[in-house]
């Protein structure tokens, strides 16, 4: 095992519970290999997930993908960052590309596509992508995440139906 792997594993083990130790381990790993895609991805995640610096996170993900377009670990986190930063067009392009990559977790990418449509309030399209995610799911543990996203989207659809119904009811009462 390489020294960089030791520090990378320490960083992954500490994240997100001990950010100080995560950063320290990442810095050591980065000093051994500044082009390690896992290291760059975790730096990006820290910027996006912990500091909410989406614009600061994007270059880490971009650099990782520039080094290795097949860095499969980067895509889900980069997509989530783009969606949260409301870079919807860029996220759609990345999704389209990611789905062409051999070996990528297509189920995960379809879930991100559903979340992208959800963020744009296109709930029916989002549910269609949830169906695709279920069809491509190969891991039992991941199905819970798919179901959670599906329930959240369905809850938003129900919320909109109730809102429309209450508007109709209030119009009838005012007449």
Domain count within the chain: 1
Give per-residue pLDDT as tens, 3-30. 889 999 999 999 999 999 999 999 999 9
Task: Classify residue 127 as exposed, middle or buried by CB count within 10 Å of its CB (0-12, 13-18, 19+).
Answer: middle
Task: Classify residue 119 as exposed, middle or buried by CB count within 10 Å of its CB (0-12, 13-18, 19+).
Answer: middle
Q: Which of 47, 2, 5, 1 is nearest to 23 (CA)?
A: 47
Q: Is the pLDDT of residue 172 over 70?
A: no
Q: Is the pLDDT of residue 171 over 70?
A: no
Give the domain CATH number at 124.
1.25.40.10
Give per-residue pLDDT as tens, 29-49. 999 999 999 999 999 999 999
Residue range(s) defining the domain that contains residue 110: 3-174
Please give the structure tokens belonging to residue 18: 């001990």
């Amino acid at each position: 095992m390489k020294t960089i792997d030791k520090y990378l594993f320490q960083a992954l083990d500490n994240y997100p519970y001990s950010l100080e130790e995560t950063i320290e381990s990442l810095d050591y790993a980065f000093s051994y290999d500044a082009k390690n895609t896992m290291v760059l991805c975790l730096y990006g995640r820290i910027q996006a997930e912990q500091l909410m610096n989406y614009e600061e996170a994007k270059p880490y993900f971009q650099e990782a993908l520039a080094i290795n377009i097949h860095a499969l670990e980067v895509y889900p986190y980069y997509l989530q960052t783009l969606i949260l930063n409301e870079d919807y067009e860029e996220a759609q392009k990345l999704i389209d590309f990611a789905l062409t990559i051999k070996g990528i977790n297509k189920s995960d990418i379809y879930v991100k596509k559903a979340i992208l449509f959800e963020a744009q309030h296109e709930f029916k399209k989002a549910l269609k992508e949830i169906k695709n995610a279920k069809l491509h799911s190969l891991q039992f543990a991941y199905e819970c995440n798919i179901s959670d996203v599906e329930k959240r989207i369905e809850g938003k659809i129900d919320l909109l139906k109730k809102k429309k119904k209450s508007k109709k009811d209030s119009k009838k009462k005012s007449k």
